[in-house]
């Protein structure tokens, strides 16, 4: 029976209140975990993307910077809550995040697999929840104003960053670990962040229309969590 992974670094309790605070917490996780830790592999990628989106917000790239700022924070807090919740009680954490966090020290899984599994959970599970929560907080709806256009502008940012993200996994020990894994290139090629984000948007619209009826939203979110957890387990099957 594999030994449990070491504890995660402590984080400030409660949600982050701003994008700089989100970045600071992501940096704290990065500093506390070994480079090869599975959560660190995802966190490194997420930190890179978050910094770039924050830069674009400040540069006026988005039509509604208030919306994008709040969405960025609400979205990140779902990941940070999973890290904080795991340290307190793993049973509090969604199935989809437990899949990654519980296996983050498995040496038979490539760093890029961990990064993809983290993206799978954060986009396919967390993003629709964040879109709905942000709209409610701002008194809008997912389809209000420029919300969808700004949401899709992030796809352009991710596309521009694709090569830089990949190159971050092609240095030092990370490259050596990834090189050991047969079939990794196919796995990466078959995972599309843009496609995942489009599905997340449609799931957000569905969740929005279900409203506050917990007899509808509960089963919807539970089924989503189970499906994303299944996909995560598939992404973390050792390929070597």
| 37: exposed, middle or buried (Cβ count in 10 Å: 0-12, 13-18, 19+) | buried
Please answer whether residues 107 and 234 qualify as being in contact, where contact means their C-beta atoms are separated by less than 8 angstroms: no
The mean pLDDT value of the chain amounts to 88
Per-residue burial over 106-117, b = 16 or more CB atoms within 10 Å of its CB, e = otherwise: eeebbbbbbbbb
* Structure-token match 């983290």, residue found: 118
DSSP annotation of 125 reads I
Q: Where are the domains of the chain?
A: 19-235
Q: Which residue has the higher pLDDT, 217 or 192?
A: 217
CA angle 40, 42, 43 (to 5 degrees): 60
Residue 13: band (very low, low, confident or very high) from pLDDT cuts 50, 70, 90: confident
Tell me what pLDDT residue 178 has. 47
Distance CA 126, CA 74 (A): 10
> Nearest Cα to 187, choosing from 124, 123, 125, 114?
114
The region of weakest confidence among 4-18, 26-40, 123-137, 176-190 is: 176-190
pTM here is 0.90
The predicted-structure confidence for 82-138, as pLDDT tens digits, reads as follows: 999 998 899 999 999 999 999 999 989 989 899 999 999 999 999 999 999 999 999
């Amino acid at each position: 029976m594999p030994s449990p992974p070491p504890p995660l670094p402590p984080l400030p309790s409660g949600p982050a209140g701003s994008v700089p605070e989100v970045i600071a917490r992501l940096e704290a996780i990065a500093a506390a975990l070994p480079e090869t830790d599975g959560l660190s592999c995802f966190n490194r990628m997420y930190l890179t993307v978050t910094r770039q989106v924050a830069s674009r917000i400040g540069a006026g790239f988005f039509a509604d910077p208030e919306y994008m700022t709040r969405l960025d924070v609400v979205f990140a807090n779902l990941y940070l809550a999973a890290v904080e919740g795991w340290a307190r009680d793993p049973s509090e954490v969604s199935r989809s995040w437990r899949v990654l966090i519980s296996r983050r020290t498995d040496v038979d899984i490539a760093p890029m697999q961990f990064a993809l599994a983290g993206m799978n959970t954060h986009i396919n599970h967390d993003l629709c929840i964040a879109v709905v929560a942000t709209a409610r907080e701002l008194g809008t709806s997912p389809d209000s104003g420029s919300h969808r256009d700004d949401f899709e502008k992030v796809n352009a940012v991710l596309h521009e960053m694709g090569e830089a993200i990949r190159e971050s996994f092609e240095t030092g020990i990370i490259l050596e670990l990834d090189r050991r894994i047969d079939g990794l290139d196919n796995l990466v090629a078959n995972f599309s962040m843009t496609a995942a984000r489009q599905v997340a948007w449609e799931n957000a619209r569905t969740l929005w229309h279900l409203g506050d009826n917990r007899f509808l939203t509960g089963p919807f979110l539970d089924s989503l969590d189970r499906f994303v957890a299944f996909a995560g387990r598939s992404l973390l099957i050792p390929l070597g």
